[in-house]
Amino acid sequence: MPHSYRFPLYPELSADNTIISLTVHVERLRCYAYALFWTMIALAIVVTKLFVVDMLAAGPDPNLPIEKQGCGPFNRESIGFGQPFDYDTQNHLSEIFGFPNICTNWDYSPAREITAMFFPFFEYVFAVYLTLDLCNTNLSFQRGELPKWFWTWSKFAYVISLLLTIWFRMIFVIVAYEDPKGHTAGFLGLQVGLVMIALQNFLYIVLTGQSYPSINLSAEKAALIGKTYIVLLLLISSVKIWASAYIVMHGVAPAFYLRTDFILDKVNGWWVDKVWMLLNAVIPFFIALFRSRDETPVQIELTCPKPLYRSEGGETAPIL
């Protein structure tokens, strides 16, 4: 027996059909997610510049007992316990990676806590994008546009990439200067997840023969650009993932990462990191932007069966 309600208190507002309809552009949602990601990074940079740099340069509070001055970020044998250090050149990750990667911007309080508060905006939007992208893939599969093996792969890729994206939050839980291996593991998971997402999108474009009239891109050209992009992404991601896994296992970067080039006097790891960021966090925004212009939006409808209403006397009856 369904739960019954009193007759509508406001019958003049009641509707015959109670349906909530939502129209969602899935790729546009991915644009929002990447925009939020870069907004998070900008916030971390600002907070670090305003509060963290001077705090680290000043060193621990001299009023603290001597046994506490070597705590937190100042617990460093390489520089000296309780000694101040320069954020740009002496941060903890530079000792491991050979260069300060993007995570350095939220490694120290209060940047870590403030950035962690903003992170869910990116995390939840990206999780919703992954979920709706899976739904869109299912609809394409039901229309006969995709083979069964791809739908099976999509379900597997969705679960893994969603978990790895959510677990990226561990970079805020496991402090870089206390456990660099665990801290890097959260970033390593995101790298693997982004590769799976890129493969998912590439295969979907090729298998469905996507074209983009708004930018005069035929299906053949789109497939060619997609193949070029995915090859470059897989090459740089394989190096990045291997180096990150090495750091997780050994606590230091591989020797290749620490070698210096003869052009800008930068370590190889710096170049790998910048190319990886370009292919995984910059170009995907524009790919999603261009795809959103020609995509067919997903239509979501929410409804509920009409309930039974009861009168003051207790009788129940549906409202016709």
Asked, for residue 228, whether it belongs to a domain, the answer is: yes
Asked, for residue 16, whether it belongs to a domain, the answer is: yes
Asked, for residue 245, whether it belongs to a domain, the answer is: yes
Is 0.85 topped by the overall pTM?
yes
Asked, for residue 175, whether it belongs to a domain, the answer is: yes
- Full domain range(s) for residue 282: 4-35+117-315
Asked, for residue 212, whether it belongs to a domain, the answer is: yes
Asked, for residue 71, whether it belongs to a domain, the answer is: no
Q: Total structural domains in the chain?
A: 1
Asked, for residue 146, whether it belongs to a domain, the answer is: yes
DSSP string, the chain: ---EEESPS-GGG--SS-EEEEEE-HHHHHHHHHHHHHHHHHHHHHHIIIIIHHHHHH-S-TTS-TTTTT-GGG--TTT-TT----HHHH-HHHHHHSS--GGGGGSSTTHHHHHHHHHHHHHHHHHHHHHHHHHHHHHHHHTT-S-HHHHHHHHHHHHHHHHHHHHTTHHHHS-TTT-HHHHHHHHHHHHHHHHHHHHHHHHHHHHHT--BGGGTB-HHHHHHHHHHHHHHHHHHHHHHHHHHHHHHHHSS--HHHHPBPSSS--BHHHHHHHHHHIIIIIHHHHHHHHHHHHPPPEEEEEE-PPPEEE-TTS-EEE--
Asked, for residue 305, whether it belongs to a domain, the answer is: yes
The fraction of the chain above a pLDDT of 90, given in percent, is 64
* pLDDT tens readout for residues 142-156: 999 999 999 999 999
What is the pLDDT tens value at each position of the chain, 320 positions in all? 455 555 666 666 666 667 888 899 999 999 999 999 999 999 999 999 999 999 999 888 888 787 777 788 888 888 888 888 899 888 988 888 888 888 899 999 999 999 999 999 999 999 999 999 999 999 999 999 999 999 999 999 999 999 999 999 999 999 988 898 999 999 999 999 999 999 999 999 999 999 999 899 999 999 999 999 999 999 999 999 999 999 999 988 999 998 988 777 889 999 999 999 999 999 999 999 999 999 889 999 888 777 666 655 555 555 44
